[in-house]
Amino acid sequence: MTQTILVKPVITEKSINRVRDQLYTFEVEKGANKHQIKEAVEKLFSVNVKSVKTINRVGKEKRVGRMRRATQMANRRYALVKIAKDQTIDAFSITPEQTK
């Protein structure tokens, strides 16, 4: 069940900067609530979760192709997970070799 709740970690410049504040960003299933997200992160990464914030992003309409036809982008849900101060999640550790 934990694998179905957490879709993937979000690795962007903004999310990497939030790691300094112990905030980790994940894309999660649309139906998942904060308690389920907390349990999934604690079980999968063996960390203590202090808080969970969720963000619902509405998919935008985008024009693609030669005829510029409109398509609808997918709706997404993100979770900002704050963990205990002395803990880290290895999925977000970036080495200098990976930034090149």
Distance CA 92, CA 49 (A): 16
Q: How many residues does the chain have?
A: 100
* pLDDT of res. 76: 96
Helix (H, G, I), strand (E, B) or coil at 94: coil
* pLDDT of res. 2: 61
Which residues does the chain have with pLDDT short of 50?
none
Structural domains of the chain sorted by starting position, each given as residue range(s) with its CATH number in brackets:
2-86 (3.30.70.330)
| pTM tops 0.85, yes or no | no
Residue entry with tokens 């709740």: 5
Token pair listed for 94: 């970036």
| Alpha helices in the chain, H assignment, sequence order | 2-5, 13-18, 34-45
